[in-house]
Amino acid sequence: MRDQKTVTPERLAARITRKSTRRHSPAYGEMSRAIHATGRPMVFSLCEWGDNQPWLWAAAVGNLWRTTGDGKNCWDCGGETAAKKGGYPRGWTRILDAQVGLEKYAGPGHWNDPDLLLVGLPGLTAEETRAHFSLWAILAAPLIASCDLSRMPPAIEEILKNKDVIGIDQDALGKEGTRVSHAGQYEVWVRHLKGGGRAIVLFNRSSHATKMSLTPEQAELPGFGSVHALDVWTGRELHALKGRYSMRVSPHGAAMIRIESMPKDSSK
């Protein structure tokens, strides 16, 4: 977990008092004060499944908060109960949809939590699993595995141990990514990184492979002329970024690209 800002019990009590307790149980405030009173660094994770919009108040109480009901190892199941309160499980794409618009409430020391990773559980294809892991990294989500780590097949271990994806998730800027393009079943997600870089996910929800494109405008960059780009899952350097970059994305899959600005040549 990233470094947390030091908050004294006195300052914490004042912050909690300023927030409306009508939105949540006072037990969260009591637990928060008790944790800080120990003088030991702890992370306080709240779970009320997003029923009372914790992104509006939980930053004064804890470090991360669940935004939806529980995740279920399926693509988009659970639609019949997704609108109900009480933590009803739903597929990871339904949880992803619920994160849109919440990015402004997250930052260093206070994070949206879309629930545990479903990587390694039955019910998801390899492409769906990589897409899920990629998008949780774009969301700056806690990457907590829920599979049996002692019995992971090599393919699952390779996904969970991908240092480039984990590095994006743990980027020091602490800025949650956002969906910048949504054209039917094709989406572009962008996350700003420390140093001016970008992490990009091209997400294909359709059932067939599709050629998807990325523009500098979508990446929120002035252009692709002086950038270094990496295909995060293959480790391949991308040299053809110009006015528009296109790549083929598998069905229910995602391509993940990391873009860094090239340093200016000081000799010129």
State mean pLDDT over 184-212.
97
The pTM for the full model equals 0.89
pLDDT in tens, 91-114: 999 999 999 999 999 999 999 999
Q: Give the confidence band of 17 by pLDDT, cuts at 50, 70, 90.
A: very low
Please tell me the predicted confidence (pLDDT) of residue 260: 87
Q: What share of the chain is helix, strand, coil (3-state, %, to 5)?
A: 25, 20, 50
| Sequence ranges of the domains in the chain | 1-65, 178-261
State mean pLDDT over 236-260.
88
Number of Cβ within a 10 Å radius of residue 72:
20
pLDDT at 133 over 80: yes
- Could you tell me the CATH superfamily of domain 178-261? Golgi alpha-mannosidase II (2.60.40.1180)
- DSSP-derived letter for residue 249 is E
pLDDT at 268 over 50: no
How many residues does the structure list for the chain?
268
Residue type, 44: F
Q: Where are the beta strands (DSSP E) in the chain?
A: 45-46, 64-66, 71-72, 90-91, 111-113, 178-183, 186-192, 198-204, 210-214, 227-231, 237-238, 245-249, 253-261
pLDDT at 210 over 50: yes
pLDDT at 125 over 60: yes
Alpha-carbon torsion, ordered 99, 58, 41, 4, to 10 deg:
60
Please tell me the predicted confidence (pLDDT) of residue 8: 54
Please tell me the predicted confidence (pLDDT) of residue 262: 58
Cα angle 180, 125, 156; round to 5: 95
Please tell me the predicted confidence (pLDDT) of residue 228: 84
Q: Give the confidence band of 11 by pLDDT, cuts at 50, 70, 90.
A: low
State mean pLDDT over 126-141.
98
Pairwise CA distance, residues 244 & 230, whole Å? 15
Alpha-carbon torsion, ordered 124, 130, 132, 135, to 10 deg:
-170
SS3 128: helix
